[in-house]
Structure 1
C-alpha cells in the first residue's frame, strides 16, 4: 500500500512507501468479499437496466453511469477500508478493533466529542447572534459584516491556527513579547477558539436562511395582542428558527469531529481521533489501525448527519401564508441592537486582526525572535512553492466545472426522473459529506493503488476526491433549486421532441444557474483549501499548497507559511468574488426591515 512521504525538511512529497501485505488465507476471504459485492452490484444494475432503458434509454444510460461513479468512488473505497480494518498481519482478525477500542484511543474519542460539543455550542450561539443582527434588525452594514463573517470559510482551515500561534504561541507577539505570559495556547482552549472562529460562519449561514424565511405576520399578530418584543422573540421567533439552530449545531459538530489540520498544529497534549489516525498511517505505516480509528470517528459524525437530515426534516415549522411578506418586523430596541453591533464588530475585529497577522508574518525575518523587515520570505516561498501553487490551481480548475455539472445533472435525475434505487443513490451520494477526510484519504489509498484503477500518485485521484467530496453540497443546492421550478416547462420541451440531454442543457441548467454557480464556487474554495484527505493523496508529481503550508508551519517556518497562506487566500477571494458577482440577487425575494 502507498503512503505519502515528506522529505527531511518537511517541504514536499518525494515519493511513496510500499507496504507489502503477505499472501495468506486472507486472500480467499478477500476474493469472496469482492465476488459477493460485484455479483450483487451486477444483479442490481441488470434489473435497473431492463426497467429504465425500456422507458427512456438516455436517462437509463445516465443513471447507470451515475451508479457506476458512486459504486467505484464511494462504495468500493469504503469497503476496502472496512476490509482492511478486520485484517492483522495478512489474516482475518478482530485484533485491530480490540486495539482501537482500548482506553488509549477511547480517550482520543472522548477528546473529539468534547471538542465537537464545545465548538458546536459556542459557534451556534455566535452564529445566531450574527444571523439575527443581519437578518432581523435595521443594522446598516449588513453586506460588509456578512462578507467579513464568512472569511474563515474561504481561507485555509489552519490559517487561523497559524495566526493564533504567531500571536499567542510560545514565542507569540502578544503572549511572550508584550505580556510576558507563560500560559500556552496549545490544547483544548486554543483548539476551541480556533474552531469556533473557523466554523461559526457555517452556523451563521444556516440560521440566516431560516430567519429570512420566517413570515413576520405571525410576529405582527403577537405584537398586536400586546406581547412585548422579547415575549414575541421567545415564543415565536426562537421556536420557528429551531430547524436552523439544530441543523447548525449538528453541521458544526460534524465538521469539528472531522477537523484535521487545526488539531495537528494546536492540540498539544490534547488527543483527538483525526490526528491519531493520521499518525498511525504516516508515522507507523499502520493502515489497518488508521482505518479502524477513522471508522470509530465516523460513528458520531454519521449519527449527527442522519439526525440533521431526518429528525429536523420531519418537524413542521411552516409559516408561509397565501400572500408572501416583503417586510420583517424588527424585534429589538436601540440599546439591544447597539449591544449586538458592539459584540459582533469586536468579534469581526479579532478575525481581521488574525488575517492581518498572517500578512505581517510575510515581512518578518523570524517571528518571535527577529521582527526585522524583510522581503526574503517572498522569494524563498515562491521558489519552493510555485509548483504547488500551479498544481493546486490546475486541479481545482478541473474539478470545479466537473463537480458543478455532475451535481446539477444528478439533482435533475433525482428530482425529475423515476427509476429503481433512486433513494439509495441519493443516500450514498450524500454520504461523503459526513465522512471524515482522513477516512476518505485512507480508503482511496487502499482502493486505487493496484490495477485496474492504479490512480495513487496521479492528479486524477486528487480531482476525483475533490468532486466526490463536494458533490453532496452541489446536489443539495440543485435539488432545492429544481423544487422551485415548475416541471411543466421541461415537460413542454419533452413533448416537442427534446431528449433529456437537450432539456438539461437548454432549460434546466439556465434556470438553476445560481445553484450551479454556487456549487462551482463552493467546490473551488474547498478544493483550494482542502487538507485532511489530500495529505494522503499527494505525490512527487502532484503536490498541494495547503500541505506545503502545513509542513512549513510544522517546521516553524512561519514566514514562508504566511506568504503561501496569503497567496492562497488572495486566489480564493478573487474567484469567490467573481462567482458572487455572477450570481445576481433576486430582488423579488428580498425583504426590508420595518420598525414598530
Structure 2
C-alpha cells in the first residue's frame, strides 16, 4: 500500500525539481523585449499598416502609394530629398577625408583647438546652423548687407544651394571623426612597404590607404546621408520652394491633426524604406572585402617645413572655423540689442531677460526631460549591452536589431508613429511629457548601446567567472564588477546621448503640447516670429550646455574621443 502512495510523491518532487525559477538575465531579456514591442514595434507597425489603408473606406488599399508615385508634387519631394542627401554626402566626404588625413599625418599647429571646433560644430542641431547662416547670408544678413554696400550681390542662402551649404558644413565632421580614428590606428608597415616598392604618395593614398579605411569612410558617409535625409528643421527654414520629403510629412500631418494621417504614414514609410535600402547597400559593399589588419605600428606624424605646415594649418583652421561659425554667430548676436525683428547697434542682456521671463518653462523642460531620459537610457543600455554581448542568442540578436532600428529613422516619423499608437485607449500618452521622454529614449539609446557593447567586448569574461567561482551571485557580479568596468564606455555614450537629446527638435516638434515645449521648439517658433534675439539667446544656452558636457566628459575620460 505504501508504494502507490510514494509513487505520486516522488513524481511531484521530480516535477518540482524540474521547474526552475527564471534567471535574472532571462527576466531582463523578456522585459526588454516587452518594452520594445510596446514602444517601438507597435508604433512603427501601426504607422506602417495605416499607409496600406484607404483614408475614406478604411479598408486595405494601395491607393496612398499610388497617389504618392503618380502625383508629381509628392514624388518630386522624394527626388529632392535623395538629391540633397547624396550631394551632401559626397561633399562632406570630400572635405572630411582630406581634413582627417591632414590632421592625423602632419604636424599642423593648433590640433587641439581645431578638433574642439569640429566637435562643437557636430554636437548642435542642424537648424541652428541654418538660422545662423540666415543671419549672415539671408536677405538682410550681416554679410549680405556688407557686400551690397560695395555693389556685390551674393547668391541667396535660400533653396537648394543653401541646404547643401548648411548640411555639408554641419555634417562633414561625422566623416572626419570616423576617418581620423581609422587613420590613427592604421599599421604604418603597409604604407612603408608601398614606399619601398617605389609607389608615389598619390598612388599610395588612392590604392592602399583609402581603400583600407573604406569601412570608416562608408560609416561616416552613411551617418551624413541618414541625418540629412531625416532633418526637416533646416529645409523648413531655408528651403522655401524646394520641398523635401520630411517637410511634406510634417506639413501633411500637422495641417489637420489626424486628418491626413494616412498620407503622412505613407510618406513616412517611404522615408524609412529609402533609409534601410541605403543602409543595406552600404553593408553589402563593406562585406565584400576583408579590411582587418594589425595596428602594432601606428603611423608617425610627418614633420613639414614652414611653408607647407602653414598652408595645411590654414586649410584645417579655415574649414573648422566655417563649421563652428553657427555657434559663434548665435553667441554674439544673443548680446546684440534688438528692436522688434531688427538688430540695432549696442549690446545688452535684453534677449536673455526676455527668455527668462517668457520661456523659462521651455528651458526647464529641456533639462528635466533629458535628465529622466538619460537615466532610463543608461539603465536600459547597461542591461541590453550585456545581453547582446554575453548572452548571445536569437533573442539577443533581435533585441540588438530592434534597439538600433531608430538610428536610421527620422525623428518626425518616430513622433507620428507614437501619436498614431498612443492617442487612444488603453494607453493615451499624446500631449504628455511621458511621450516626449519615450521618444528621446527610443531615438538616442543606440549611442549608449554601441559605446557600451564596444567597451564590454574589451572586458575579459574570466573576471566575471572568477567572481562567480568565489560564490558571488551572477547578478551581484554584474552590478559590482562588470558594470563598474563598463563605466568609461557607458559614460561616453551617455554624454553623446545627453547632448543629442537636449538638442532634439524633429520628434519634439511633433509631440509637444503647450506645457511640454523645449528649447529647440522655442528657438524654432521664435525664428518664425522674427524674434531673432531671443532665438539666439536660446541657441546660446544649448551651445553652452554642449560645451559644459564636453568639458565634463574630457575631465573624466582623459581626452578620449566622444564618438562611438
Aligned counterparts of 2:332 and 2:560: Cα–Cα separation in 1: 39
Deviations 1:137-157 (A, max 9, x none): 222422211110111222233
Q: SS of the residue aligned with 1:542? A: coil
Range moving further from structure 2, 387-396 or 360-369: 360-369
Q: Does 1:147 align with 2:116?
A: yes
Q: Secondary structure at the match of 1:150?
A: helix
8 Å contact kept, 1:172–1:368: no
Give per-residue Cα distances to partners, 1:491-546, cap 9 Å, x unaligned. Answer: 22223333343222122222222210111101111110001111111112211110
For residues 284 and 28 of structure 2, the distance between their equivalents in structure 1, rounded to whole angstroms, comes to 28
Query: Which one of the candidate residues 465, 481, 485 is aligned to 1:507?
Result: 481
Q: Kindly tell me: are residues 350 and 327 of structure 1, through their superposed partners in 2, closer, same or farther at Cα, counting changes over 3 Å?
A: closer
For residue 270 of structure 1, give the secondary structure of its aligned residue in structure 2.
coil
- Contact 1:166–1:368 under 8 Å retained in 2: no
Question: Does the C-alpha gap of structure 1 residues 226 and 500 become closer, same or farther in structure 2, counting only changes over 3 Å?
Answer: same
What is the Cα deviation at residue 122 of structure 1? 0.7
Would you say 1:100 and 2:68 are equivalent positions? yes
Contact 1:361 1:559 in 2 (8 A): yes
Aligned twin of 1:71 = 37
Distance 1:63 1:54 in 2: 17
Matched, 1:405 2:379: yes
Q: Are the equivalent residues in 2 in contact too, given 1:129–1:340 (CA < 8 A)?
A: no
1:115-148 CA-to-partner distances (Å, cap 9, x unmatched) read 0011111111111122112222222422211110
- What is the deviation of 1:434? 0.7
Q: Residue 431 and residue 81 in structure 1: after superposition, are their counterparts in 2 closer, same or farther (change >3 A)?
A: same
Q: Distance in 2 between matches of 1:370 and 1:79?
A: 48
For residue 564 of structure 1, report the CA deviation from its aligned partner. Answer: 0.7
Instruction: Tell whether 2:217 aligns with 1:217.
Output: no
Work out the CA distance in 2 between the residues paired with 1:191 and 1:341: 28
Deviation of 1:352 (Å): 4.1
In 1, the alpha carbon distance for the partners of 2:507 and 2:324 equals: 28
- 3-state secondary structure, aligned to 2:139: coil
Aligned partner (choices 268, 290, 315) of residue 316 of structure 1: 290
Partners of 2:492 and 2:428 in 1: how far apart? 32
1:112 is the counterpart of 2:85 = no
What are the Cα deviations for residues 8-54 of structure 1, in whole angstroms up to 9, with x where unaligned? xxxxxxxxxxxxxxxxxxxxxxxxxxxxxxxxxxxxxxxxxxxxx95
Note the 1:161-560 alignment, pairs <5 A: 161-179=130-148, 181=153, 183-285=155-257, 286-313=260-287, 315-320=289-294, 324-328=296-300, 330=302, 337-362=309-334, 363-366=336-339, 369-373=342-346, 374-560=348-534
1:434-485 deviation digits (Å, cap 9, x = unpaired): 1111110000001112222211222111111111111122211122212222
Provide structure 2 residue ranges, at least 5 long, that are not aligned to the other structure.
1-18
Cα deviations across residues 541-591 of structure 1 (Å, max 9, x unaligned)?
21111011001112211111011111121122212221221112579xxxx
Q: Give the unaligned 5+ runs of structure 1.
A: 1-52, 588-596
Evaluate the alpha carbon distance shift between residue 165 and residue 470 of structure 1 in structure 2; reply closer, same or farther with a 3 A threshold: same
Distance 1:400 1:586, change over 3 A: closer
The structure having more radius of gyration, on CA atoms, is 2
Verify the 8 A CA contact 2:415 2:508 in the aligned structure 1: yes
Query: CA 1:156 to 1:213, structure 2 compared with 1: closer, same or farther past 3 Å?
Result: same
Residues 121 and 327, structure 2, Cα contact 8 Å, conserved in 1: no
Equivalent residue of 1:388, what SS? Answer: helix
Query: What's the C-alpha RMSD, in Å, of the aligned pairs?
Result: 2.3
SS of aligned partner of 1:365: strand
Q: Measure, in 2, the Cα distance between the counterparts of 1:485 and 1:585.
A: 21
Aligned twin of 1:89: 56
- Residue in 2 that maps onto 1:13: none
Name the CA distance, whole Å, in 2 between partners of 1:544 and 1:395.
Answer: 9
Once structures 1 and 2 are overlaid, which stretch shifts more, 64-73 or 487-496?
487-496
Structure 1 CA distance, aligned partners of 2:480 and 2:210?
42
Q: Identify the residue that residue 160 of structure 1 maps to in structure 2.
A: 129
How many residues align? The count is: 533
Tell me how far 1:235 sits from its aligned partner.
2.8
C-alpha change, 1:447 and 1:292, in structure 2 (3 Å) is same
Q: Distance in 2 between matches of 1:130 and 1:555?
A: 38
SS of the residue corresponding to residue 186 of structure 1 reads: coil
What do the CA deviations read for 1:53-72 (whole angstroms, capped 9, x no partner)? 95951111000011011111
Q: Is the 8 A contact 2:42 2:421 kept in 1?
A: yes
3-state SS in 2 of match to 1:414: helix
Superposition deviation, residue 313 in structure 1: 4.7
Does the residue aligned with 1:346 lie in a helix, a strand or coil? helix
Question: C-alpha distance in 2, partners of 1:226/1:331?
Answer: 21
CA 1:140–1:404: 2 relative to 1, 3 Å: farther
Query: Which aligned pairs between 1:47-66 and structure 2 lie closer than 5 A?
Result: 57-66=23-32
C-alpha deviation, 1:80, in angstroms: 1.0
Q: Give structure 1 regions of 4+ aligned residues with deviation exceeding 6 angstroms.
A: 331-334
- Secondary structure in structure 1 of the residue aligned to 2:294: coil
Which string of whole-angstrom CA distances, capped at 9 and with x for unpartnered residues, describes residues 280-325 of structure 1? 011243211111111111122112223344542553112216xx22
SS in 1 for 2:338: strand
Deviations 1:160-203 (A, max 9, x none): 11111111111111113442537421001110100111111111
Per-residue deviation at 1:337? 4.9
In the alignment, the residues of structure 2 paired with residue 171 and residue 540 of structure 1 have an alpha-carbon distance, to the nearest angstrom, of: 31
1: distance between equivalents of 2:462 and 2:244? 51
* Structure 2 CA distance for aligned equivalents of residues 133 and 484 of structure 1: 30
